[in-house]
């Protein structure tokens, strides 16, 4: 049985001692939640109306195995899917390509064809669930697969709900799964903005990501600054294409990391919301309140999880998840305790999900909106993070903007310096990580890990080869020519992608045509 997300909560907001709770406190001094500039949250009622979407990032091996994991998570109460793709899929290679050797299904699910996507989504209620896909360079192609499967299931694309990450700038900065140079990448991104605004109105067209910037070693201030600077670049590119900021601005979303410094993380989210609302209003003239709101997904920090004493990670995840909730997240993924060792086991993934459910149902922190707002410490910390992040953004603008700073390596260098400083502090024990540089002990028991069988890759390749052999070669060639011509011209690429995948063109084949036209990005190395 699939557990459907509850849209409403029971109106019982009392403490365990039967003390009635107000919706929010300190409104006269702080302003009300749900009002500009949204420091206190983007919704007036926040979790009183409904909980955040509880996602568990999952995907491994074959489409069939991942489909089974999604069903298990839905049955146990997760309220949104979050799809992890393997590296070949992220980099635009089919599973049978030589560049995919040794990586098929290893860090996510292998998706090369419409057939793969149909297996991945089999028996899942696409009209009822929200699906997030962590995909960037090939985001438009994966979205085309998703839309094509929905059509085959009889679900209108206007009813689809979900998010594609689609954030290439942070790939150049921190993560590395880029293919094309920045300018054609921005063209594809804005094509997706335009298509979804018109045809898939419930879809979040980008998840502007600070998560990977933080995983690469940035500070919290740098995470806010670089993420918002990237966001400003995307909005400017869309405005330059003639898109209406009040339309596409409503479908922008963000993705932030959550580390262990509890109050700094809460303050970071409050500062980012306030800054973005002011940018959208003052810089771009947005008037629709929904185009001003910074809505964000959050994920606890993988880089803080340790292979030593992995059970300690349950505590870290709980603290980080609580910070995300107190900071006003709209969606949350909790990492599993074993992720420093390998892909999450079913047991570990269930504990991670239960952590969110305990916070939601047992702690009382969701009964009041912005319950920590008004703390002198938190309010001053929020102001300080905003000020320091603004100084970074102004410096980026003075250096010619985000793309110039990426091409010169300046942003990457700032992150590297912060990461290096943290490592020095760790080695000097100015920073303590329990079980790593203090309170160390020898683990007596070996933690169970999930292994991907080599047979998975062989079977995936065999199935893909058979899929390609059954196709009409002339139709495939005609579709690839259309992709190539659209990339050379100015037509929106999304309808071209959808028609191509419906005619059984693969992800790798589409990506290769785009490589021929757009070229490849090569990173500038700074020392």
Question: What's the pTM?
Answer: 0.93
For residue 249, pLDDT over 70 is answered with yes
**Helix, strand, coil abundance in the chain, percent, nearest 5:** 50, 10, 40
Confidence of residue 2 (pLDDT cuts 50, 70, 90): very low
For the residues 459-468, what does the mean pLDDT come to? 96
Confidence of residue 7 (pLDDT cuts 50, 70, 90): very low
For the residues 59-65, what does the mean pLDDT come to? 87
Note whether 441 and 309 are within 8 A (CB). Answer: yes
Q: DSSP alpha helices (H): ranges in 399-492? A: 402-408, 410-427, 454-469, 473-488
Percentage of the chain modeled with pLDDT above 90: 89
Distance CA(483)–CA(496), nearest Å, equals 6
Per-residue pLDDT, 79: 83
CB atoms within 10 A of CB 394: 12
Q: What is the mean pLDDT of the chain?
A: 94
For residue 214, pLDDT over 90 is answered with yes
Per-residue pLDDT, 9: 64
Per-residue pLDDT, 342: 87
Distance CA(117)–CA(137), nearest Å, equals 18
Per-residue pLDDT, 362: 96
Distance CA(182)–CA(168), nearest Å, equals 8
The DSSP 8-state label assigned to residue 259 in this structure reads -
- The tens digit of pLDDT for each residue in 340-383 reads 998 889 999 999 999 999 999 999 999 999 999 999 999 999 99
- The tens digit of pLDDT for each residue in 401-416 reads 999 999 999 999 999 9
Confidence of residue 225 (pLDDT cuts 50, 70, 90): very high
355 HSE (CA, 13 A, CB side)? 29
Nearest to 461 by CA among 109, 104, 90: 104
The domains of the chain are located at 165-299+375-431
Q: Name the E strands within 195-251.
A: 203-204, 206-209
DSSP per residue, 273-293: HHHHHHIIIIIT---SHHHH-
- The tens digit of pLDDT for each residue in 482-523 reads 999 999 999 999 999 999 999 999 999 999 999 999 999 987
Label the pairing between strands 161-164 and 203-204. Answer: parallel
Confidence of residue 11 (pLDDT cuts 50, 70, 90): low
Angle (nearest 5°) at CA 195 between 190 and 197: 95
Note whether 249 and 288 are within 8 A (CB). Answer: yes
Per-residue pLDDT, 6: 46
For residue 1, pLDDT over 50 is answered with no
For the residues 273-293, what does the mean pLDDT come to? 98
Note whether 128 and 4 are within 8 A (CB). Answer: yes
When the candidates are 3.20.20.240, 3.20.20.370, 3.40.50.300, 2.40.50.100, the CATH number that belongs to 165-299+375-431 is 3.20.20.240
Neighbour-count burial of 288, counting CB atoms closer than 10 A to its CB (0-12 exposed, 13-18 middle, 19+ buried):
middle
Per-residue pLDDT, 526: 54
- The tens digit of pLDDT for each residue in 69-78 reads 999 989 999 8
Distance CA(336)–CA(350), nearest Å, equals 8
Per-residue pLDDT, 455: 87
Distance CA(387)–CA(390), nearest Å, equals 5
For the residues 74-102, what does the mean pLDDT come to? 94
Neighbour-count burial of 306, counting CB atoms closer than 10 A to its CB (0-12 exposed, 13-18 middle, 19+ buried):
middle
Interacting residues of 252 by C-beta distance below 8 A, sequence separation 6+: 204, 205, 206, 208, 231, 234, 235, 295
- The tens digit of pLDDT for each residue in 47-60 reads 999 999 998 887 88
Q: Could you tell me the CA-to-CA distances from 489 to 115, 484, 492, 514 in Å, in that order?
A: 29, 9, 9, 12
For residue 109, pLDDT over 90 is answered with yes
For the residues 146-162, what does the mean pLDDT come to? 96
């Amino acid at each position: 049985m699939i557990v459907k997300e509850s849209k409403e909560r029971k109106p019982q907001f009392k403490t365990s001692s039967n003390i009635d709770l107000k919706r929010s406190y300190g409104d006269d001094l702080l302003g009300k939640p749900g009002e500009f500039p949204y420091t206190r949250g983007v919704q007036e009622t926040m979790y009183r109306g409904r909980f955040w979407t509880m996602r568990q990032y999952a995907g491994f091996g074959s489409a069939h195995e991942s489909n089974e994991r999604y069903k298990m998570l839905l049955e146990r109460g997760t309220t949104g899917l979050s799809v992890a793709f393997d590296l070949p899929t992220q980099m635009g290679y089919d599973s049978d390509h030589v560049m995919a050797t040794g990586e098929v299904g290893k860090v996510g699910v292998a998706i090369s064809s419409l057939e793969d996507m149909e297996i991945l989504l089999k028996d899942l209620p696409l009209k009822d669930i929200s699906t997030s896909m962590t995909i960037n360079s090939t985001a438009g192609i994966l979205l085309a697969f998703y839309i094509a499967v929905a059509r085959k299931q009889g679900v209108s694309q206007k009813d689809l709900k979900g998010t594609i990450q689609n954030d290439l700038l942070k790939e150049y900065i921190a993560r590395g799964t880029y293919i094309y140079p920045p300018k054609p990448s921005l063209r594809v991104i804005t094509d997706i903005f335009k298509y979804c605004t018109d045809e898939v109105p419930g879809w979040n067209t980008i998840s502007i990501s600070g998560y990977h910037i933080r995983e690469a070693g940035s500070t919290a201030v740098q995470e806010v600054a670089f993420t918002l600077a990237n966001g400003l670049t995307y909005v400017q590119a869309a405005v330059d294409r003639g898109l209406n900021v009040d339309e596409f601005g409503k479908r922008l979303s963000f993705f932030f990391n959550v580390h262990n410094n509890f109050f700094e993380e809460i303050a970071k989210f409050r500062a980012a919301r306030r800054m973005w609302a002011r940018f959208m209003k003052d810089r771009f003239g947005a008037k629709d309140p929904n185009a001003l709101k910074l809505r964000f997904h959050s994920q606890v920090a993988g880089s803080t999880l340790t292979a030593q004493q992995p059970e300690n990670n349950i505590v870290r995840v709980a603290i980080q998840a609580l910070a995300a909730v107190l900071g006003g997240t709209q969606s949350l993924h909790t990492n599993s305790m074993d992720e420093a060792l390998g892909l999450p086991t079913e047991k570990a993934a269930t504990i991670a999900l239960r952590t969110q459910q305990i916070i939601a149902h047992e702690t009382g922190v969701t009964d009041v909106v912005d319950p920590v707002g008004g703390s002198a410490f938190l309010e001053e910390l929020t102001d300080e993070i905003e000020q320091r992040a603004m100084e970074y953004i102004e410096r980026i603008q003075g250096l010619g903007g985000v793309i110039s700073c990426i091409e010169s390596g300046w942003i990457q260098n700032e992150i590297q310096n912060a990461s290096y400083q943290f490592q020095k502090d760790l080695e000097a024990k100015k920073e303590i990580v329990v079980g790593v540089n203090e309170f160390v002990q020898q683990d007596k028991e070996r933690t169970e890990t999930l292994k991907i069988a080599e047979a998975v890759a062989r079977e995936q390749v065999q199935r893909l080869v058979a899929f390609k052999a059954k196709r009409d070669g002339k139709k495939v060639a005609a579709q690839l020519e259309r992709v190539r011509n659209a990339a050379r011209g100015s037509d929106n690429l999304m309808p071209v992608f959808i028609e191509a995948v419906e005619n059984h063109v693969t992800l790798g084949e589409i990506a290769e045509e785009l490589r021929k036209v757009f070229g490849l990005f090569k990173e500038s190395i700074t020392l």
